[in-house]
Amino acid sequence: TYGNIVNLRIVQIGYEADTERALLVLNSDIRYVLEHADKYIRPLQDKGRKVCLSLEGNGSGLGFCNLTDSQIADFTAQVKACLELYDLDGVNFFDRNAGYGQVEGMPEMNTTSYPKLIKAMREAMPDKLLTLADYEEPTEYFGDTEATGGIEVGQYLDYAWSGYMSESEDIQLLDPWEVIDLTPGDAADLGMMLPTTNHPRRPIAGLSPENFGYFAVPWYPAASDFLMTAQGFMNVAIWDMMGYAPNNTIVWADLISNQQNEYEMSWGMVPGMLWAIFGDEAMDGTYMYNVLVNNDQGGLHYGELAKDW
């Protein structure tokens, strides 16, 4: 099993200069997967998984944070039509790579466009799953309803989670609701480096703490110091043991195959550390390991998640 929610990416918001429209951009790979849903999507949905589109920027200078009301209405209609056409379960918003301020003639970011877009999507698709990656400037003001034009963004979301999953840093714990007031000495005694201080976030207005994913996990290369020292994994374990974890949500970076390169055996090492932390409350680590890494003969499933067209 590959998780409860599978987000297909990259699906982008683009810009058509002649008409000034915000366009839903489906690249050739996404189109192939969608047009062959019986092979790639229905088997996941048949097992109870939700398959959604992950909407991101494409460097055009237009993104979720600088849309006009008419662009919001138009883009929402395009997304709804796509979900209905391919029988998908929802949308994940991940505002990155939009190119704000980098393209001449494009409007500046504002604090009401993104909330309006999320609200419009919910109203247009009340039965679809709406999730959000909390990441950098586009979402940092979502706790301030005055800035968002009175919109409580969390009221329109099913889930939100950390968008920080870099291979160049330890696992980052984002806990907007809990103030972990530990001195550096106390933190050292706990074996904790307080990674929450790297990306401090504020609660999203209207969102329950139980519906937030507090950390996202990269697929570290097998020789990565972050994997070898496992400091980030230990921090997550301590955070959980101290009673700060309100749920068992784990967010993963892009799925990879257990391939013969620098990520060799990451499928076994990275999930194995987390299953050990969450124990019986999470998925069965032995089951995950046997299904995804080994076959019945103990061989490796090279290329299991690789592109096959």
> Model confidence over 50-59: pLDDT tens digits?
999 999 999 9
- 43 domain residue, yes or no: yes
Q: What is the pLDDT of residue 269?
A: 79
Is 83 part of a structural domain of the chain? yes
Instruction: Note the pLDDT tens digit of each residue in 214-271.
Output: 999 999 998 899 988 888 888 888 888 778 888 888 899 988 776 667 887 787 778 7
Give pLDDT tens digits along the chain (309 positions). Answer: 568 999 999 999 999 999 999 999 999 999 999 999 999 999 999 999 999 999 999 999 999 999 999 999 999 999 999 999 999 999 999 999 999 999 999 999 999 999 999 999 999 999 999 999 999 999 999 999 999 999 999 999 999 999 999 999 989 888 888 755 444 445 445 545 554 567 888 999 999 999 999 999 999 998 899 988 888 888 888 888 778 888 888 899 988 776 667 887 787 778 777 766 665 555 444 444 444 444 444 455 566 667 788
Q: According to the model, what pLDDT value does residue 108 have?
A: 97
In a domain, 88, yes or no: yes
The answer to whether position 36 is within a domain reads yes
Structural domain tally of the chain? 1
- Per-residue pLDDT, 292: 46
- pTM score: 0.90
Q: Would residue 270 count as lying in a domain?
A: no
Burial track 174-213 (b if 16+ CB lie within 10 A, e otherwise): bbbebeeeeeeeebeebebbbbbeebebebbbebeeebbb
Say if 15 falls within a structural domain: yes
Looking at residue 277, its pLDDT comes to: 66
- CA 103 from chain centre, in angstroms, equals 26
Q: Would residue 139 count as lying in a domain? A: yes
pLDDT of residue 34: 98
pLDDT at 6: 95
Residue 98 falls within a domain, yes or no? yes
- 160 is in which domain, residue-wise? 5-257
Whichever domain contains 58, its CATH number is 3.20.20.80
**β-pairing verdict for 5-16 and 21-26:** antiparallel
User: DSSP H helical segments within the chain, as ranges?
Assistant: 28-35, 37-40, 42-45, 69-86, 113-124, 136-139, 184-189, 225-229, 231-241, 266-278, 285-292
Give the pLDDT of residue 184.
46
Q: By C-alpha distance, which of 275, 297, 270 is closest to 286?
A: 275
Distance CA 152, CA 176 (A): 16
Tell me the sheet residues that pair with 212: 160
